[in-house]
């Protein structure tokens, strides 16, 4: 059998095997969430990924009364924008509220007005048969009455509710699922229990057309502790400010789909390469790095053989977009990378990781099998590998994966192809919009293996619509071009009474940047915004009420964002 015919046969076998979960008996480590639409508290943020305990706390100190006195000349903070209508809401628990308010303040200074709402407030104000329905009703009301464009669920299952949807499909074997369905919160225009029997997402309740109506971007950061929220905050800042990153250097990974006697290993690289060659722009293809599971795939497509060590080295070099086709399970990030690997990462640039792998995105269950009857509910110390990737000090800033078995060529690959079409062809800016585009258009995705017909059935699309999940901030803007760094120069502290805060924004060579948007935010006190002048300068005048950190952010098209913190003088 020649090389070409051998490759075709291997591809055919890969198609019919889908993406079976890794047999896995490991357990891991998991967690929590926060509240109030008009109360945007904040804290101290830095670009240091290892600095994860950075919140101002003056409760045990004697505060100088001068911090609360009016200005003797009658001056006040002018042009205060506090009380804005948010574009994104963070839903969380009371326990995690303060931590997520720090994150909300950071997001606001970087151009995404963000507020925190607790589940306690939602369950008090909204009707519903359970907390998940109350949350969904809140989102429907918020979208209908305001400018809400995104929702970030800030916490693990104990902090923010989720909706289980039962599912089953037979391909080469029987698959069942009763895991979290993100579709319940993204498809707000459809009724997930139209027959009123309390069983959500049934065939009797929905059509495929309903499931494709994914219009509201939602993501979840499955944090369980304030420390995990801090971890994610610092990773987000590192990604947004872009220090040391390689934004147009994609990392492509694959696993062996299966091994056939007398034939050998079947490589998931076939699924990656079909999408990569069709959709990735030249700026990305010129800088790609490929780690594939078999030497045959490496020889055909130009890559190096995948090992945990070479993948770790690439992630720690700053490859910030990762595309993977292969296996996964509760304790396995890929076929060869387990939770211990994720926890060992030391990367300073967090990545966006996009995969069709099974089960690793399930934040509610210890899901180690393709049959959900064999799952068990997670405890607080049993996070999945995908959760660890998002919650850890290092790792990633976004993870697209599955809460159930991924179906590979019967749905998962089409979803990912449509997702990358949304990213590169439609030029959608955020991970949440790209994710929803993948769900909307997977049924018409132009994804196929050369010379071989492949069909995604209605049943396999139905399964995939419920299984795919986004872990991370849905408003994250994915870097798609090489950007320059912004340098923010300003005083590091401020005093009681009337203050003039002057700042200068330059590029890495010290050239002033005019026309940039600069914002400062002191939680509960003021939110101010200005545009830099021809000298790259902006000025803010304010009279603070009480000492608390001021968050500062700068944004400009074609540049990474800049972020800093101004602290009250001791």
3-state SS assignment for residue 423: helix
What does the DSSP 8-state code read for residue 444?
A: G
Q: Which CATH number fits domain 3-23+237-472: 1.10.260.40, 3.40.50.1950, 3.30.2080.10, 3.40.50.1460?
A: 3.40.50.1460
Q: CA triplet 557, 558, 560: central angle to 5 degrees?
A: 90
Rounded-to-integer distance, Cα 48 and Cα 424, Å: 31
* Helical segments of 223-279, H only: 226-241, 269-279
- Residues 408-455: pLDDT tens digits? 999 999 999 999 999 999 999 999 999 999 999 999 999 987 656 678
pLDDT at position 36: 37
pLDDT at position 221: 99
- Beginning with the edge strand found earlier in the chain, give each strand of the sheet holding 537-542 in spatial order: 486-490, 499-507, 537-542
Rounded-to-integer distance, Cα 441 and Cα 443, Å: 5
User: How many other CB atoms are found less than 10 A from the CB of residue 208?
Assistant: 13
What does CATH list as the number for 486-568? Answer: 2.60.40.10
pLDDT at position 451: 57
Instruction: Using CB atoms within 10 Å of the CB of residue 45, give its burial: 0 to 12 exposed, 13 to 18 middle, 19+ buried.
Output: buried
pLDDT at position 20: 54
Q: Write the CB contacts of 124 (distance below 8 Å, at least 6 apart in sequence).
A: none
Rounded-to-integer distance, Cα 439 and Cα 431, Å: 13
User: How many other CB atoms are found less than 10 A from the CB of residue 39?
Assistant: 14
pLDDT in tens, the chain (570 residues): 333 334 444 444 444 344 555 655 444 333 333 333 333 333 333 333 333 333 344 445 689 999 999 999 999 999 999 999 999 999 999 999 999 998 999 999 999 999 999 999 999 999 999 999 999 999 999 999 888 999 999 999 999 999 999 999 999 899 999 999 999 999 999 999 999 999 999 999 999 999 999 999 999 999 999 999 999 999 999 999 987 778 889 999 999 977 777 777 879 999 999 999 999 999 999 999 999 999 999 999 999 999 999 999 999 999 999 999 999 999 999 999 999 999 999 999 999 999 999 999 999 999 999 999 999 999 999 999 999 999 999 999 999 999 999 999 999 999 999 999 999 999 999 999 999 999 999 999 999 876 566 789 999 999 999 999 999 999 999 999 888 999 999 999 999 999 999 999 999 999 999 999 999 999 889 999 999 999 999 999 999 999 988 999 999 998 999 999 999 998
- Residues 318-328: pLDDT tens digits? 999 999 999 99
Q: Write the CB contacts of 282 (distance below 8 Å, at least 6 apart in sequence).
A: none
Query: Which of these, 311, 305, 132, lies nearest to 218 by C-alpha position?
Result: 132
Instruction: Report pTM.
Output: 0.89
User: How many other CB atoms are found less than 10 A from the CB of residue 299?
Assistant: 11
Domain map of the chain by residue range? Answer: 3-23+237-472, 486-568
pLDDT at position 324: 98
Rounded-to-integer distance, Cα 76 and Cα 55, Å: 27
pLDDT at position 59: 46
Rounded-to-integer distance, Cα 364 and Cα 519, Å: 38
């Amino acid at each position: 059998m020649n090389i070409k015919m051998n490759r075709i046969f291997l591809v055919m076998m890969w198609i019919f095997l889908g993406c079976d979960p890794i047999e896995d008996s490991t357990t891991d480590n998991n967690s929590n969430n926060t509240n109030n639409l008009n109360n945007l508290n904040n804290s101290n943020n830095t670009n240091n990924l290892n600095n994860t305990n950075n919140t101002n706390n003056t409760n045990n100190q004697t505060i100088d009364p001068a911090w609360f006195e009016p200005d003797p000349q009658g001056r006040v903070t002018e042009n205060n924008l506090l009380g804005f209508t948010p574009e994104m809401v963070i839903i969380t628990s009371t326990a995690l509220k303060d931590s997520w308010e720090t994150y909300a303040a950071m997001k606001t200074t970087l151009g995404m007005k963000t507020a925190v709402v607790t589940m306690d407030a939602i369950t008090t104000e909204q009707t519903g048969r359970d907390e998940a329905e109350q949350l969904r009703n809140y989102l429907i009301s918020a979208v209908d009455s305001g400018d809400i464009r995104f929702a970030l669920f800030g916490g693990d299952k104990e902090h923010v509710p989720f909706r289980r949807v039962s599912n089953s499909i037979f391909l080469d074997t029987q698959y069942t699922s009763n895991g979290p369905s993100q579709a319940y919160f993204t498809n707000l225009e459809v009724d997930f229990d139209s027959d009123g029997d309390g069983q959500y997402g049934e065939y009797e309740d929905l059509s495929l057309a309903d499931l494709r109506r994914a219009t509201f971007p939602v993501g979840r950061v499955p944090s369980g502790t304030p420390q995990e929220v801090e971890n994610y905050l610092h990773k987000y800042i590192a990604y947004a400010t872009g220090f040391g990153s390689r934004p147009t250097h994609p990392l492509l990974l694959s696993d062996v789909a299966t091994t056939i006697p007398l034939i050998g290993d079947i490589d998931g690289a076939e699924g990656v390469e079909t999408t990569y060659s069709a959709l990735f722009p030249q700026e990305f293809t010129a800088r790609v790095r490929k780690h594939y599971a078999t030497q045959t795939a490496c020889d055909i497509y130009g890559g190096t053989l995948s090992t945990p060590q070479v993948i770790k080295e690439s992630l720690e070099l700053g490859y910030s977009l990762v595309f993977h086709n292969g296996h996964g399970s509760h304790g396995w990030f890929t076929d060869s990378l387990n939770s211990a690997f994720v926890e060992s990462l030391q990367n300073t640039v967090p990545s966006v990781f996009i995969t069709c792998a099974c089960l690793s995105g399930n934040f509610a269950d210890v899901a180690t099998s393709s049959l959900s009857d064999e799952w068990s509910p997670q405890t607080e110390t049993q996070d999945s590998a995908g959760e660890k990737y998002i919650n850890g000090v290092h790792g990633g800033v976004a993870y697209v994966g599955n809460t159930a078995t991924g179906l590979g060529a019967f749905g998962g690959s089409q979803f990912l192809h449509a997702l990358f079409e949304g990213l590169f062809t439609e030029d959608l800016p955020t991970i949440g919009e790209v994710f929803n585009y993948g769900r909307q258009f997977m049924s018409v995705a132009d994804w196929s293996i050369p010379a071989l017909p492949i069909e995604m059935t209605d049943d396999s699309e139905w399964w995939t619509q419920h299984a795919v999940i986004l872990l991370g901030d849905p408003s994250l803007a994915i870097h798609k071009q090489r950007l320059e760094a912004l340098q923010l120069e300003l005083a590091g502290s401020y005093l009681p009474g009337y203050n003039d805060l002057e700042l200068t924004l330059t590029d890495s060579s010290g050239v002033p940047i005019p026309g940039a948007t600069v914002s400062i935010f002191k939680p509960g006190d003021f939110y101010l915004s200005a545009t830099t002048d021809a000298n790259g300068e902006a000025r803010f005048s304010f009279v603070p009420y009480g000492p608390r950190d001021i968050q500062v952010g700068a944004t400009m098209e074609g540049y990474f964002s800049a972020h800093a913190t101004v602290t009250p003088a001791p």
